[in-house]
Amino acid sequence: MHKIIVELDKRSYPIYIGSDLLTKKELYSQHINSKQVIVISNVTIAPLYLDSVLKQLTAFQVASVILPDGEQFKTLEYISTIFDQLLSHKFSRNSTLIALGGGVIGDMGGFAAACYQRGIHFIQIPTTLLAQVDSSVGGKTGVNHPLGKNMIGAFYQPQCVIADADVLDTLDDRQLSAGLAEVIKYGLIRDINFFVWLENNIKALISRDKTALAYAIEQSCLNKAQIVSEDETETGIRATLNLGHTFGHAIETGAGYGTYLHGEAVAIGTCQAADLSKRMGWLNDDDVKRIIDLFVACNLPTVPPISLSSERFIDLMSVDKKNIDGQIRVILLKKIGEATLPIGVNKDILQETLDTYGR
């Protein structure tokens, strides 16, 4: 088992990465300082893993909430069903909430924990690759609003993260690939050695080699932990985690939610950001090819949908949280392994990328 610490002074916490962690009773007991524990999961994950978790919690008074599966249920309404359970079981202020699931359950569980009685303890057990390498670490929690994704939320750090690579066995290939898009992101924005390792080991990752997966999760969490320690609330360097996301969000929204998984849209968006970085004179053709080739090796899409016009892209990118005074700002690459902070891009150069890359 590997242990990485997210350093945040008194709120520092460990990320445990390894095999067969769900059944390690001591991991739970070390981080639960209360009698009352509530486990939040969904209808897909609970039949697979809830029992293994509950068996480790026999010393506690335990309740569980099983939510429907899907991004469309990441709403205040379903947060309220968590509060209903907490209140009907008279859960007190020192209770612990365990989020057992992918990014949707992790974001919702964390948000419910942040709000209930102004904050109860919280443990993340991420079950998708995306959640293990990104969403479970760093304390971004929240839900969607009909007028915007992730628009209601809070920064709220967990007591620990338990990332058990074994649970990825039941994850389908498409979800695994989507998680790899976020893994590749760490190499691109700040870790050239990891990028080269990914180029050399991508076949092992796709074929679910346990050692390779554990290493990729560990390196991703190391990078994320360092970024979060430096910039918990995204006033600077944390924004580099948004590489490819401005284009990607436009693709997710423009194509209609559910057409592309988040990681798939990020893969395409990162290729567009690479093309734009080349037009800025920072990357060369070979760099861009290496990036595209790595996504292709993960079976990820690399070109935007033809139905999404450049005008529609601009329109959708104009509502991004990073923008200032109406100017579109994106994260670009100075080179492979080094990202820029959000920068306002020249309209003509952006237009060239949108008109020509993948068209």
Contact partner at residue 238 from ligand NAD, ligand GLY, none, CB < 5 to 8 Å by partner kind: ligand GLY
Q: How far is the CB of 297 from ligand NAD (least distance, A)?
A: 20
Name the DSSP letter for residue 337.
T
E strands within 78-198? 96-101, 121-126, 140-145, 148-155, 160-164
Whose tokens are 């910039």? That residue is 231
Interface residue with ligand GLY, options 107, 134, 164, 191 (CB under 6 A): 134
Residue of the chain from 121, 238, 278, 322 that contacts ligand GLY (CB under 6 A):
238
| For ligand GLY, the closer CB: 166 or 231 | 231
Nearest to 52 by CA among 74, 35, 72, 28: 28
- Interaction of residue 140 with ligand GLY, rule CB under 6 A: yes
Contact pattern from residue 309 through residue 338 relative to ligand GLY, giving x for each residue in contact according to CB under 6 A and a dash for the rest? ------------------------------
Q: Could you say which of ligand NAD, ligand GLY, none residue 81 binds, taking C-beta under 5 to 8 angstroms by partner kind?
A: none
Where does the chain show beta strands of DSSP type E? 2-6, 13-18, 36-42, 61-67, 96-101, 121-126, 140-145, 148-155, 160-164, 329-330, 333-335, 338-339, 343-344
Under the binding rule (CB under 6 A), the answer on residue 124 touching ligand NAD is no
* Residue 67 binding ligand NAD, by CB under 6 A: no
For residue 88, which amino acid is it? S
Largest CA distance in the chain: 63
Placement of tokens 């074994």 in the chain: 166
Q: Which stretch binds ligand NAD (CB under 6 A): 13-21, 122-130, 304-312, 341-349?
A: 122-130
Tokens describing residue 138 = 């760093």
- Residue 344 sits at the vertex; the CA angle it makes with 191 and 189, to the nearest 5 degrees, is 5
Q: Cα–Cα distance between 332 and 348 in angstroms, integer?
A: 16
Task: Find the binder of ligand NAD among 95, 96, 128, 302 (CB under 6 A).
Answer: 128
From the list 58-66, 134-142, 143-151, 347-355, the region that binds ligand GLY by CB under 6 A is 134-142
> By the criterion CB under 6 A, which residues form the site for ligand GLY?
134, 138, 140, 234, 238, 241
> By the criterion CB under 6 A, which residues form the site for ligand NAD?
42, 44-45, 48, 69, 71, 74, 101-105, 107, 127-128, 130-131, 134-135, 138, 140, 150, 167, 170-171, 175, 262
